[in-house]
Amino acid sequence: MAATQVSTTPFDGQKPGTSGLRKKVKTFQQPHYLENFVQAIFDTQRGLAGGTLVLGGDGRFYNREAIQTILRMAAANGVARALVGQGGILSTPAASCIIRKYQAQGGIILSASHNPGGPDEDFGIKFNIDAGGPAPESVTNAIFERTASIDRYLISDAGAVDLDAVGEQALDNMQVQVLDPVADYAALMEELFDFNAIHQLFNSGGFRMCFDAMHAVTGPYAVEILENRLGAEPGTVMNGKPLEDFGGGHPDPNLLHAHDLVALTQGAAGLDFGAASDGDGDRNMILGQGFFVTPSDSLAVLAANAHLAPGYKQGIAGVARSMPTSQAADRVAEELGVECFETPTGWKFFGNLLDAGRITLCGEESFGTGSAHVREKDGLWAVLFWLNLLAVKRHSVAEIVREHWRRFGRNFYTRHDYEGVDAAAAGELMDHLRILLPDLPGKRLGALTVEYADDFSYTDPIDGSTAAHQGIRVGFAGGSRIVFRLSGTGTQGATLRVYIERYEPDPALHDQPVQEALAPLIVTARELAQIEARTGRREPDVIT
């Protein structure tokens, strides 16, 4: 079999967004579309030739086909060894784990995360670097630039690899190793968490939980770890079979899309613990009986209690959160006397801090939590961390969070999303806010005085790189904040995200409903950005 050189011409818009290149399946199915992008990876990431490449995806429609194409291209581009998840499956955190463990030169992960899958839905591809994390902007920019001038790609004409047979195969001169997608990841989890304590919790008879894999990639991981290794009752994992279209659902673990799971935790007979993950297994949602833990609070609670899990018993070096994430973790870091970093949205911004040992835990309001164990956010990891806390503390989820609020105060928090907004109108809304910024400090908006207002920009403390225009922050005296940002992951129109936060130190006021507690700030946000006038929307489409 030989490597063939195929002539091609560039496609517009192969620019990776917050998390890789995401487009409709139909876009990827155009002749040469996937190939161009993959060749741009090989052309710019020279270490892959002669090296090891990790490859897998979330199992969505077009996953297997894309994997076969990428394998044939990898062989033609001189990759020495490809590590592929069985069935083409690798969760994003498992891919990160495998890149690190086998010292690969990089990985290609096929996923559009929480976006729906199927022939008319989304597909995605992203490149992770040798440290195991998403490629930094310097790398994604180089790949994008290459896509703009690409004129040929290399592909082997060898036949298909048997993706279902664990073990070694050859594709031309490349060794292909099909791996059990769960084993390495599960072994890492056993190192980090107290599996005995969790096992006992499950055996106690007094604890009932459910994990919703949403017919996405975490099904096999959750069944192996929760049911087989930790002894949770069979059936604890719901929607555990990965399906190409995620069963027609939207594999996004939030109150809207994981409503079946939410329902199971409601009422006096509700489950003690509910958790879910997304399409590619990096997001998490944590629920107690009738209780939703915001991702921002989850990060803060894990940071405050990290020493209770064996993998973190030495304490944490520091913590980081994305800018729109609530400031709850900052208060914990302050009390622990460790550094706290505010980074732009996107997991890639945590990479340098993790590599340098400046932080141990990090998280984002977008249902992402993780640590230095891999370089991606990690859904099941967060679930196991919570189970470890529940097993050690023997308190309910709600008790643990309420106790946390009593100790640190509560950061009431909500995110309002306006989806599918006209892109030009959304851009103008942000421009309008930017124009207002210089005059805001010192001004009263509603009952609060603006302390600072800026367009967030970040300078990475490790490599000095900067990222500007990362969202509008309006901070008020007393710790309240409004943040405006346009989503970087949507595939249709623009999504305006408005993040609203208010700090409440008084425990007597911690039980107000969130939307009520934040109502005046919500009004302020809508007025300031002229949301209705500029987008025609009276109310957000999604509130989390």
Residues within the interface to ligand G6P (CB under 6 A) = 18-19, 113, 322, 345-347, 364, 366, 368, 487-489, 497
Residue 340 CB, nearest approach to ligand G6P (Å): 18
- Partner from Zn ion, ligand G6P, none binding residue 19, C-beta < 5-8 Å depending on class: ligand G6P
In the numeric block, which tokens belong to residue 505?
């130190």
- Partner from ligand G6P, Zn ion, none binding residue 278, C-beta < 5-8 Å depending on class: Zn ion
- 116 secondary structure, DSSP code: -
Interface map 110-129 toward Zn ion (x if CB under 5 A):
---x----------------
- 503 secondary structure, DSSP code: E
Region near Zn ion per CB under 5 A, out of 81-89, 109-117, 119-127, 347-355: 109-117
Residue 124 CB, nearest approach to Zn ion (Å): 10
In the numeric block, which tokens belong to residue 175?
């060794």
Q: Can you tell me the distance from the alpha carbon of 435 to that of 534, in angstroms, rounded to the nearest whole number? A: 15
Residue 200's CB is within 10 A of a number of other CB atoms, namely 14
Residue 488 CB, nearest approach to ligand G6P (Å): 4
- Partner from ligand G6P, Zn ion, none binding residue 368, C-beta < 5-8 Å depending on class: ligand G6P
Structure-token match 């899309």, residue found: 257
Question: Is residue 107 within 8 Å of 55, Cβ to Cβ?
Answer: yes
The correct pick among 121, 224, 227, 280 for binding Zn ion (CB under 5 A) is: 280
If the CB atoms of residues 289 and 322 are measured against ligand G6P, the closer one turns out to be 322
- Partner from Zn ion, ligand G6P, none binding residue 371, C-beta < 5-8 Å depending on class: none
Residue 423 CB, nearest approach to ligand G6P (Å): 14
If the CB atoms of residues 347 and 418 are measured against ligand G6P, the closer one turns out to be 347
Q: Secondary structure of the chain: what % helix, strand, coil (to 5)? A: 35, 25, 35
Residue 438's CB is within 10 A of a number of other CB atoms, namely 9
- Partner from ligand G6P, Zn ion, none binding residue 345, C-beta < 5-8 Å depending on class: ligand G6P
If the CB atoms of residues 220 and 475 are measured against Zn ion, the closer one turns out to be 220
Region near Zn ion per CB under 5 A, out of 147-155, 188-196, 276-284, 319-327: 276-284
If the CB atoms of residues 58 and 342 are measured against Zn ion, the closer one turns out to be 58
- 311 secondary structure, DSSP code: G
- Which residue of this chain has its Cβ atom nearest to ligand G6P in the complex? 487
Q: Can you tell me the distance from the alpha carbon of 184 to that of 105, in angstroms, rounded to the nearest whole number? A: 18
Q: Can you tell me the distance from the alpha carbon of 255 to that of 544, in angstroms, rounded to the nearest whole number? A: 7
Question: Treating both helix axes as pointing N-terminal to C-terminal, what angle do 379-393 and 92-101 enclose, rounded to 10 degrees?
Answer: 90
* Main-chain dihedrals φ then ψ at residue 280, nearest 5 degrees: -105, 10
Residue 278 CB, nearest approach to Zn ion (Å): 4
In sequence order, what are the residues at sequence separation of 6 or more whose Cβ sits closer than 8 angstroms to the Cβ of residue 385? 192, 193, 302, 309, 369
Phi-psi region for residue 535, left (φ > 0), alpha (ψ -120 to 50) or beta?
Answer: alpha
- Partner from ligand G6P, Zn ion, none binding residue 280, C-beta < 5-8 Å depending on class: Zn ion
- Which residue of this chain has its Cβ atom nearest to Zn ion in the complex? 113
Catalytic residue from among 19, 91, 111, 113: 113
Residue 282 CB, nearest approach to Zn ion (Å): 4
Q: Which of 484, 473, 481 is nearest to 521 (CA)?
A: 481
Residue 317 CB, nearest approach to ligand G6P (Å): 21
* Main-chain dihedrals φ then ψ at residue 111, nearest 5 degrees: -170, 150
- Under the binding rule (CB under 5 A), the answer on residue 282 touching Zn ion is yes
If the CB atoms of residues 82 and 329 are measured against ligand G6P, the closer one turns out to be 329
If the CB atoms of residues 272 and 278 are measured against Zn ion, the closer one turns out to be 278
Is 113 annotated in the active site?
Answer: yes
Q: Can you tell me the distance from the alpha carbon of 68 to that of 56, in angstroms, rounded to the nearest whole number? A: 11
If the CB atoms of residues 39 and 111 are measured against Zn ion, the closer one turns out to be 111
In sequence order, what are the residues at sequence separation of 6 or more whose Cβ sits closer than 8 angstroms to the Cβ of residue 265? 210, 271, 273, 274, 287, 288, 289, 290, 291
Q: Which residues are catalytic?
A: 113
Site of interaction with Zn ion (CB under 5 A): 113, 278, 280, 282-283
